Structure 1
Amino acid sequence: MSAAPKPLPLLLPIRKYGDPVLVRPAKPVAAVDDDIRRLIPVMFRTMYAEPGIGLAAPQVGVSLRLMVVDVAPDGKSQPLVLINPVVEKKKGRIRSEEGCLSFPGIQVTVPRAAWVRVSAVDEKGAPVVVEGEGLLSRCLQHEMDHLDGVVMIDHLSLAKRLKVLWEIRKRKKAGLW
């Protein structure tokens, strides 16, 4: 007789910059099993509670290639679950400001592709292809970075990165990080 699976909490703590899980490439999901299916709604609840528009599993301490996204265009929720996502194609280039739940209160300008096509599997294990531009494109690329162990400040010049790191240091000293 196997033990019952350990229940997950309603919300998971967001890992902040400085946690090693954020800078390590995540492992592929071997199978879309009950453990993965239980994790997905907890990730969505955690993302919505922050509030955020995307969340990668490493941001909640789970080193797996899984992300949830809901950019809610026009206020209509369109939740996406992407497991083992792969960027198939990118077009164009834009620079825009973005934030990150793992860098609370910090915004930086990051260059991204203007359009992206991502293939993955969903929570049922079915193949999906998502194409996006604008905010969806930016969010997909940002969460993909997390799965690769890349954080948004890795896209900055050394001077800008040091400025962000100084701000984080000040917040840590003040007990705000």
Structure 2
Amino acid sequence: MAGQVRPITLVGTPVLHQPCRPVEDFDTTLRELADDMFASMYEAEGVGLAANQVGVNLRVFVYDCPDDDGERHKGAVVNPVLELPALENRRLDDDDEGCLSVPGPHARLARPDHATVHGFDVTGRPVTVEGTGLLARCLQHETDHLEGRLYIDRLSARSRKKVLKEFEALRAEADALPG
């Protein structure tokens, strides 16, 4: 799996803030996109990446992430549908979350500690991914991306403002560096 590293799309870019189109063609182009997404995710040291984070308006994400037991799970999910436990069975995991499209800052965000995603692999075969811990958070985070939602959209107004202020400060600092 080679793949070309693509630039990560940053908060404020329109493709990140609108629902993505369903994938209709399970072809070589889709497989190449997934390879590029894995390469981009690894280069950015992430555990998940949605297509719109590399500027592509399609419902696909990749992940390489451990679950609560430390077992590593890796794959691509096309046209995912998220399933969360019923409210009476839901336990929240209140932990730090960050995003490659808002590089730098993190914020505490409570999410269900268990999640399941149903969809397809890049060849069109049905897949189901069930996750706990960080994997559950990743499945929810990446599915949110495909709906045009960033994790900061789930924060309180104060927390969101703090994250964006820190992000802008880091960008200004980077822009001021020579070269």
Band of TM-score, shorter chain:
0.7 to 0.9
Aligned residues between the structures? 170
Corresponding position of 1:136: 135
What is residue 25 of structure 1 aligned with on the other side? 19
Distance in 1 between the 2:70 and 2:157 partners?
37
In 1, Cα distance between the equivalents of 2:91 and 2:72?
Answer: 26
Residue 62 of structure 1 deviates from its aligned partner by 0.3
Structure 2 partner of 1:165: 164
Q: Does 1:86 align with 2:81?
A: yes
Structure 2 Cα separation of the partners of residues 159 and 128 of structure 1? 38
SS for the counterpart of 1:138 is helix
Aligned-residue offset at 1:54: 0.3
Which aligned segments of 4 or more residues in structure 1 are displaced greater than 6 angstroms? Answer: none
Identity in percent: 43
Distance 2:58 2:48 in 1: 15
- Measure the CA separation in 1 of the matches of 2:18 and 2:155: 19
How far apart are 1:176 and its partner, in Å?
4.5
Given the two structures, how large is their TM-score scaled by the length of structure 2?
0.87
The root-mean-square deviation of aligned C-alpha atoms, in Å, is 2.1
Say if 2:84 and 2:115, in contact at 8 Å, map to a contact too: yes
What's the counterpart of residue 59 of structure 1?
53
Quote the Cα distance in structure 2 between the aligned partners of 1:42 and 1:75. Answer: 26
Residues 114-173 of structure 1: CA distance to partner in whole angstroms, max 9, x if unpaired? 111110000110001111110110000010110011111111111111112222332343
* Maintained 8 Å contact 2:92/2:112: yes
Unaligned runs of 5+ in 1: 1-8
Q: Give TM-score scaled by structure 1 length.
A: 0.88
Please tell me whether the aligned partners of residues 111 and 155 of structure 1 are also in contact (alpha carbons under 8 angstroms). Answer: no
SS of the residue 1:30 aligns to: coil
Amino acid at match of 1:36: L
Cα gap change, 1:101 to 1:19, in 2 (>3 Å): same
How far has the Cα of 1:45 moved from its partner? Answer: 0.8
Conserved? CA contact 1:26–1:64, under 8 Å: yes
The separation in 2 between residues aligned to 1:76 and 1:89, in whole angstroms, is 20
- What residue identity is the alignment partner of 1:33? D
